[in-house]
């Protein structure tokens, strides 16, 4: 048996009483959370200065873009950024991509991450997933804005999905689902195919990451048409709804689908009211460092906290971030929103993330039977995995 104590322990939801000790077996499975006075007299407690918390959960990442670290300048805004990704992602060799993915996985683990929601447009990460040591839900993106091509556009993610679904692991959770990329890149017909593929399956959607998204849906104007030109899409057929994109597309998703809305940089209060009355299970995933990298904008995190809609955290890709670290995302939120309690931010980065990825039976909190990993954050904000 192993015993761990610290100046402060966060169990994934809240701070525990000073003097609490976490006990685990040799495999890292939580045996007990021992209140002060309940620790055996002969227990050899390893005490840490600073904070202990469960392993972090990165709800939104693009490991397949790791080879593009530093390739795109900061502050371009989303549409030019996406154009750069599309033109630049194929310039590296398969060997360079593989090495970058392996390095990104190693970096994630070094930064205390134990579970990842990973976006895939191809099978670049397939060979690395099984032995990553991470719990991974792979979100395979489906993209196709025109109604007439929906069946053809769905054939590719379906083929990719089948390859990921054939992969098994006895060490970690490996799951996958086909998801819409973003409202501006998925037609109503394609939404229907996604819904039918796995009724009730977990979905992830890039949501309101740029002001241009809502300009498109409200007025059929804005920078989004530059992206359509890059993709050789004639968007003349598109009819604006006069509402935000979220209020336009979310009703196309059945209530049985849990949904992770990612980025939400330009989400408005009216959208939050809409979400709370929608009857859907929704998580808001924030990637503040990527939002700053691309748009020089922070998501309205305090507004989200006040709304009561559950929040979790992601890093996005190394094409839009300098590192894959949930602790770095928490630090950025602290800088921009000093009123946000660290207790809350740690919950966003652990328990809420595990719940969003439907992995809370194994990760996200200190509870008997779970194996969430134990992260030490010292007084200099350095991260280390304890177990």
Q: Which of 4-8, 39-43, 151-155, 210-214 has the lowest mean pLDDT?
A: 39-43
Residue 331 has a pLDDT of: 98
Confidence of residue 137 (pLDDT cuts 50, 70, 90): very high
Residue 238 has a pLDDT of: 86
Average pLDDT over residues 55-67: 98
Residue 275 has a pLDDT of: 95
Confidence of residue 233 (pLDDT cuts 50, 70, 90): confident
For the cut 90, the answer to whether the pLDDT of residue 295 exceeds it is: yes
* Residue 78 CB contacts under 8 Å (≥ 6 apart), including other chains: 209, 210, 212, 294, 295
181-206 residue pLDDT tens: 999 999 999 999 999 998 889 999 99
d(CA 324, CA 39): 36
Token couple for 148: 């007439």
State the fold for domain 56-363: TIM Barrel (3.20.20)
261-285 residue pLDDT tens: 999 999 999 999 999 999 999 999 9
d(CA 13, CA 285): 17
For the cut 90, the answer to whether the pLDDT of residue 147 exceeds it is: no
Identify whether the C-beta of residue 383 lies closer than 8 Å to the C-beta of residue 327: yes
Average pLDDT over residues 220-236: 86
Average pLDDT over residues 226-231: 84
Residue 254 has a pLDDT of: 84
The burial of 31, by beta-carbon neighbours within 10 Å (0-12 exposed, 13-18 middle, 19 or more buried), is given as middle
Residue 235 has a pLDDT of: 84
Residue 153 has a pLDDT of: 94
What are the sequence ranges of the domains in the chain? 1-54+364-387, 56-363
Average pLDDT over residues 18-47: 95
Residue 112 has a pLDDT of: 98
Kindly report the average pLDDT of the chain as a whole number: 96
71-102 residue pLDDT tens: 999 999 999 999 999 999 999 999 999 999 99
1-54+364-387 with 56-363: one CATH topology? no
Residue 149 has a pLDDT of: 86
For the cut 90, the answer to whether the pLDDT of residue 376 exceeds it is: yes
Average pLDDT over residues 155-178: 96
CATH superfamily of 1-54+364-387: Urease, subunit C, domain 1 (2.30.40.10)
Average pLDDT over residues 362-366: 98
103-132 residue pLDDT tens: 999 999 999 999 999 999 999 999 999 999
Residue 244 has a pLDDT of: 97
Residue 229 has a pLDDT of: 85
Confidence of residue 236 (pLDDT cuts 50, 70, 90): confident
d(CA 198, CA 336): 39
Q: Which of 8-12, 154-158, 223-227, 309-313 has the lowest mean pLDDT?
A: 223-227
Out of 34-43, 56-65, 246-255, the most confident range is: 56-65
Average pLDDT over residues 40-54: 95
Alpha carbons within 13 A on the beta-carbon side of 272: 19
Dihedral angle of Cα 207, 210, 211, 212, to the nearest 10 degrees: -100
Confidence of residue 12 (pLDDT cuts 50, 70, 90): very high
């Amino acid at each position: 048996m192993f015993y761990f104590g610290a100046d402060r322990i966060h169990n994934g939801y809240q701070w525990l009483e000073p003097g609490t000790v976490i006990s685990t077996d040799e495999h890292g499975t939580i045996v007990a959370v021992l209140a002060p006075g309940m620790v055996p007299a002969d227990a050899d407690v390893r005490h840490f200065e600073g904070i202990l918390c469960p392993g972090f959960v990165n709800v939104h990442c693009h490991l397949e873009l790791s080879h593009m670290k530093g390739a795109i300048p900061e502050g371009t805004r989303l549409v030019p950024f996406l154009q750069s990704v599309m033109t630049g992602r194929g310039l590296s060799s398969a060997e360079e991509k593989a090495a970058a993915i392996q390095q990104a996985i190693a970096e994630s683990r070094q930064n205390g991450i134990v579970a990842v929601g990973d976006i895939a447009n191809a099978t670049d990460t397939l060979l690395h997933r099984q032995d990553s040591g991470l719990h991974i839900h792979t979100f395979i993106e489906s993209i196709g804005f025109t109604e007439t091509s929906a069946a053809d556009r769905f054939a590719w993610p379906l083929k990719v999905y089948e390859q990921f679904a054939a992969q098994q692991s006895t060490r970690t959770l490996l799951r996958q689902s086909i998801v819409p990329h973003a409202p501006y890149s998925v037609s109503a017909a394609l939404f229907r195919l996604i819904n039918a593929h796995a009724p009730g399956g977990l979905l992830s959607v890039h949501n309101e990451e740029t002001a241009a998204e809502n300009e498109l849906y409200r007025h059929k104007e804005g920078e989004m048409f530059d992206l359509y030109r890059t993709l050789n899409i004639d968007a003349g057929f598109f009819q604006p709804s006069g509402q935000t994109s979220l209020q336009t597309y979310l009703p196309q998703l059945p209530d049985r689908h849990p949904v992770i809305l990612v980025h939400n940089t330009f989400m408005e209060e009216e959208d939050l009211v809409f979400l709370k009355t929608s009857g859907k299970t929704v998580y808001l995933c924030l990637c503040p460092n990527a939002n700053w990298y691309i748009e020089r904008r922070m998501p309205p995190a305090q507004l989200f906290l006040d709304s009561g809609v559950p929040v979790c955290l992601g890093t996005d890709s190394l094409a839009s971030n300098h590192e894959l670290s949930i602790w770095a995302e928490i630090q950025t939120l602290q800088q921009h929103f000093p009123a946000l309690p660290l207790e809350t931010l740690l919950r966003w980065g652990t328990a809420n993330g595990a719940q969003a990825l439907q992995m809370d039976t194994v990760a996200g909190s200190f509870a008997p039977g779970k194996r969430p990993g134990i992260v030490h954050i010292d007084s200099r904000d350095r991260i280390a995995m304890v177990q």
